[in-house]
Amino acid sequence: MDISKLRELLLAVQGGQVDVATALTRLRTLPFEDLEDYARLDIHRALRNGLPEVVFCESKTAAQSIAILQRLWTHHDRVLGTRVAPDMAQAIQARLSEAQYDPVSRLLTLARTELPAPDEGAPYAMVVCGGTSDLPIAEEAAQVLEFVGHPVERAYDIGVAGLHRMLGELDRLMNASVIISIAGMEGALTSVVAGLVPAPVIGVPTSVGYGVNFQGVAPLLTMLNSCASGVTVVNIDNGYGAAVFAHLMLRQINRGPDECL
């Protein structure tokens, strides 16, 4: 159940096409639904914040992920699973033939409907990363934003070890409405970007780097201590979290005066 489906249901009740008892039956699963003894699905999350529950598949068994995705698929037209290993993706696709999988981002998607294409000139997010090793996190962020309907531009391998590479992208960076900056090693890219552009910058530290990178702690601290203004930081390797934050910002920009979500 999402805001569009709820609106359709209420209009159908108002117009007499659906009776009250039927509507109550369809709403009975709100606000959550138990799945055996290992999951409690938040069915009306989309009504509260505009995005349905997403399945974090890492550390789950294939059977658990399949069952959760199947149940969400009965309630939503678009379902997303993150951190899906290739062998788990094969098992899911064997049960859910509609599922699409990207091995770089490790995202698995189910979609009955296509979102309308963004208008030409619509506000866009730009996803940048310091090096090719950051691509899995960068693509997680970029593809999540595309899955929820936002235009995304990318600029990869533009880290501060060769600063001229980033300066070649300055026009696109300056015109972005929000920037997701992804970097491992020492994580300096985020401060450099934020010092040049007017848009808010979401820093994503990655666990890419040698020993004293401390699996992402070093770039995390660099980004948290940024001397540039307008930087917020999500957790290590959290491309999904950065995408959701960017989505909320873009949704506010795009929201019409009569929309509540």
Domain spans of the chain, in order of start: 3-111, 125-254
Q: Does CATH place domain 125-254 in 3.30.1360.70?
A: no
Phi, psi of 16 (to 5 degrees): 85, 5
User: Is 59:88 a contact under the CB 8 Å cutoff?
Assistant: no
- Average pLDDT for 95-123: 90
Residue 76 confidence class, pLDDT cut points 50, 70, 90 = confident
User: Is 180:211 a contact under the CB 8 Å cutoff?
Assistant: no
Q: What's the pLDDT score for residue 164? A: 87
Q: What's the predicted TM-score (pTM) here?
A: 0.84
Range name among 149-158, 187-196, 250-259 with the lowest pLDDT average? 250-259
Range name among 15-24, 123-132, 147-156 with the lowest pLDDT average? 15-24
Q: What's the pLDDT score for residue 245? A: 96
Residue 251 CB coordination number (10 Å)? 17
